[in-house]
């Protein structure tokens, strides 16, 4: 199977983002904005104006879908910008799928961290208390995790974005063989 310039560049972007995020707990602007420029440039080169429109649409979807998590301090700005960069390579529909899968993977990774640290039940109790307060007093009261708790740890979310994106890049064909979404 031949690899398109879009797929190779996207895989390189994701690999770099994961490596940097794991080691530094941040995704540099140069990587995200460089990925955006590269994605849009390759889209324009491969598919012309329609490619540029698809890339711009994917950028918007990637940005908008993760922005609420940044605004509520659930993730960093670098994660949002990385998803926007991924969107330039995938277009809007595939970006929506990749972002949704990334959120699922991120949630599973967070639960795994809580289980490994033995803090799953205490975290559920904390959130249960917040919901109980909301139900009985009709006000939302966020109770942050204590310093040192697993729920307070920074998670390299590029891992979730890369994993969700890789799953989104593949779909089952009628033969049961995995094929890339953008063709071979």
Question: Which DSSP string do the residues of the chain spell out, in sequence order?
Answer: -PPPHHHHHHHHHHHHHHHHHHHHSS--HHHHHHHHHHHHHHHHHHHHHHHHHHHHHHHHHHHHHHHHHHHTTSS-HHHHHHHHHHHHHH-HHHHHHHHHHHHHHHHHHHHHHHHHTT-HHHHHHHHHHHHHHHHHHS-----PPPTTSGGGS---THHHHHHHHHHHTEEE-TTS-EEETT--
pLDDT class for 143, splitting at 50, 70, 90?
confident
Share of the chain above pLDDT 90, in %: 73
Determine the average pLDDT of the residues in 6-33. Answer: 96
pLDDT at 144: 85
């Amino acid at each position: 199977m031949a690899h398109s310039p879009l797929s190779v560049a996207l895989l390189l972007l994701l690999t770099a983002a994961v490596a940097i995020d794991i080691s530094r707990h941040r995704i540099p602007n140069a990587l995200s904005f460089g990925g955006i420029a590269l994605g849009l440039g390759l889209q324009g080169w491969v598919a012309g104006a329609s490619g540029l429109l698809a890339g711009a649409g994917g950028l918007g979807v990637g940005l908008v879908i993760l922005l609420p998590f940044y605004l509520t301090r659930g993730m960093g700005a670098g994660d949002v910008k990385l998803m926007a960069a991924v969107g330039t390579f995938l277009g809007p529909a595939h970006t929506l799928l990749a972002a949704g899968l990334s959120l699922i993977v991120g949630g599973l990774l967070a639960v795994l961290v809580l289980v490994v640290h033995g803090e799953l039940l205490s975290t559920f109790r904390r959130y249960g208390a917040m919901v109980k307060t909301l139900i009985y007093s009709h006000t939302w009261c966020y109770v942050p995790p204590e310093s040192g708790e697993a729920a307070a740890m920074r998670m390299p979310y590029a891992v979730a974005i890369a994993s969700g994106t890789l799953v989104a890049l593949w779909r089952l064909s009628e033969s049961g063989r995995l094929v890339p979404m953008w063709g071979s």
